[in-house]
Structure 1
Amino acid sequence: MTETAPSRPREPEPESLFTRVVKAYTYVAIWIALSGVVIMFNKYLLAYRGFPYPISLTMWHMFFCASLAILLVRTGVVSSISMDRETYIKAIVPIGACYSITLWVGNAAYLYLSVSFIQMLKALMPVAVFTVGCGFGTDKYSWPTMMNMILVTIGVAVASYGELNFNIVGVAFQLASIFSESVRLVLVQILLQSRGLKLNPVTTLYYVAPCCFCFLLIPFTLLEATKLSSDPNLDINPFLFITNAMAAFGLNMAVFLLIGKTSALTMNIAGVVKDWMLIGLSVWMFKAAVTGLNLFGYFIAFLAVCWYNYRKLQSMKEAASLAPVKDQQMAETVPLKGGDKP
């Protein structure tokens, strides 16, 4: 009798194009929805609910996210990775410091500026990332990209000139947030990717959120602790703050889910749609004044950002198409070893 070979498990069939597109749009929709909820929620708490303490609100978000991430990791629901002290200090601490500044000053801007104008200023993010990337050597300088960035800056400048409620303090806070976030993104690329660290959404918060909380303790002690403890009109609604923190945790999950399942470029393109949506919501919910010059300037920046994303997409496609050719050329130039045969 001949023995029959054990049957191999059937490999899962590759997903259809339709399924991949539906999933990608689902991730985008979740991220846009949660991002809009967190931004409008933060604006409401800081500017309308009588809680003008952006550092305290950011600390609460980090405390909640860290606690939930630690619970999920320690109970074994989510597997973590081993990280030595040197890696934590050299990689996680700088990223945590930048992230804490980004969140703090970004939330502080809501005390002085409308949500719509803040979204217009956020169009400067590609400019900041490109500038910082060139400084750190992760991005290559090119005149076409530079001209693209100049056009974005001109558009934002026109939008700022047309802003009725322009506030230099709020603008300074938002620009500081943009710069800090661009440094953080570059550091993630340099420090984490170069070390081969692969962190999922929960383990990222597990390591980064406690670090952010500790950094925020310094400005909290110096700027808000005394005011917060002596504020006679302080009204903390537990339901509102817990819901707000849950939305912030969900947004962190959605960001990593979107980038992990699609790409950072998809997130950038979806961010353009999100910005227009938030501008409309700001006008509708908070009666934010938006002028024609505001929209004209932002439209210039919007077109420039769209062109930048298009050029980036084309360069990625070109690099992907050239990769097999380069691999073939390398294979043809590698000398054969002793017992190898052609």
Structure 2
Amino acid sequence: MAFSEGVVKKVILSYTYVSIWIFLSFTVIVYNKYILDRKMYNWPFPISLTMIHMGFCSSLAYILVRVFKLVEPVSMSVDLYIKSVVPIGALYSLSLWFSNSAYIYLSVSFIQMLKALMPVAVYSIGVFLKKETFRNETMINMLSISLGVAVAAYGEAKFDVWGVTLQLLAVAFEATRLVLIQILLNSKGISLNPITSLYYIAPCCLVFLSLPWFIMEYPLLRDKSSLNLDFFVFGTNSFCAFALNLAVFLLVGKTSALTMNVAGVVKDWLLIAFSWSVIKDTVTPMNLIGYGLAFLGVGYYNHSKLQALKASETQKRNQQQSDEESGKLLDEKEGGANARKNENQN
């Protein structure tokens, strides 16, 4: 079967967007691990790193929005900002803080295995907040993912309770943030792309992180004279974090959020292989068996989402066709009535 030039071009572009996103996501994760790990760069200050990212990203976002006018800012009142954006910013700051902190205690491969719990957290919180409908089939699917992650955790060679706690908290805060975006923003017709998200949310993150940073990390940085930053390392690291947000914008905008979920699974396997072969993290057979089970559960969840999306689109098309046919029939009736009226007048 021969494909048209347009189809081939679309497929190539889609794979290009996926490859860029996987590369940048991969780079940010490994780079953060390199900076924070005590055996590598040895700069174990996750709040400071997160604040550097947020400061860099908010500055660049401001330039792109206000100076270059790449995207239009969203019309937003102060009241809406305080009630909607501020809670999302608070959750985002906590998610990034705890997620970066976990790199100090856990391997890259094990962190990716724990992140497989994200669909479980999003669905559970969605059900609790009545944004998702409870279904026995979906809950069984969530339990299978949880079982797989539990098996992977049981087989982890360097299990660290504090590190696992931090990563699970990061997953919980991120899942809550995603659900609240639907409740506080999307339900009000407000849609933020990655640039406008950073434009509005990154400054919030800086504010929320400043207090724990001042209490927990500033005294250590001051005493160790570690405030002299390596601008190349932290500049390139922050730029990669910002570029990742743009890649998300491209990937979701040109393909779909589901494509990103599927690409995320590929990225996780690549990171596990990289962690084992290059960083020399220990990946046990029990790790792989457990993550394999979780992977199957996540794959089925994505498949179910795809089927539901297709069904919804089919229903919309059928409704649109029905409306168009009803409109044509109404026009024909009105035309016939007008014709008869004219004949009677003549």
Query: Same fold by TM (over 0.5)?
Result: yes
Q: Which of 66, 87, 90 is 1:74 aligned to?
A: 66
Q: Distance in 1 between matches of 2:256 and 2:81?
A: 26
Look up the match of 2:36.
46
Look up the match of 1:240.
233
CA contact (8 A) 1:201 1:257 kept: no
Following superposition, the deviation at residue 208 of structure 1 comes to 0.8
Aligned partner letter, 1:68 = L
Following superposition, the deviation at residue 70 of structure 1 comes to 1.1
Q: Distance in 1 between matches of 2:257 and 2:54?
A: 23
Look up the match of 1:117.
110
Structure with bigger helix share is 2
Deviates more, 1:72-81 or 1:183-192: 72-81
Matches within 5 A, 1:20-39: 20-39=10-29
Look up the match of 2:9.
19
Match of 1:286, SS state, is coil
Following superposition, the deviation at residue 233 of structure 1 comes to 6.5
Q: TM-score, normalised by structure 1?
A: 0.90
Following superposition, the deviation at residue 69 of structure 1 comes to 1.1
Instruction: Choose 1 or 2 for highest CA Rg.
Output: 2
Matches within 5 A, 1:66-105: 66-78=58-70, 79-105=72-98
Aligned partner letter, 2:52 = W
Matches within 5 A, 1:161-240: 161-231=154-224, 236-240=229-233
Q: Distance in 2 between matches of 1:333 and 1:137?
A: 35
Q: Distance in 2 between matches of 1:287 and 1:316?
A: 41
Aligned partner letter, 2:64 = L
Deviations 1:56-101 (A, max 9, x none): 0000000000111112222133232332101211221111111101
Look up the match of 1:58.
50
Q: Distance in 2 between matches of 1:159 and 1:200?
A: 34
CA contact (8 A) 1:95 1:208 kept: yes
Identity of aligned residues (%): 51
Q: Report the aligned-residue RMSD.
A: 2.1
Aligned partner letter, 1:28 = V
Q: Distance in 2 between matches of 1:38 and 1:26?
A: 18
Look up the match of 2:341.
none
CA contact (8 A) 1:51 1:234 kept: no
Q: Distance in 1 between matches of 2:320 and 2:64?
A: 42
CA contact (8 A) 1:50 1:235 kept: no
Following superposition, the deviation at residue 295 of structure 1 comes to 0.4
* Divergent runs of 4+, >6 A: 330-334
Q: Distance in 1 between matches of 2:8 and 2:175?
A: 34
Q: TM-score, normalised by structure 2?
A: 0.89
Look up the match of 1:298.
291
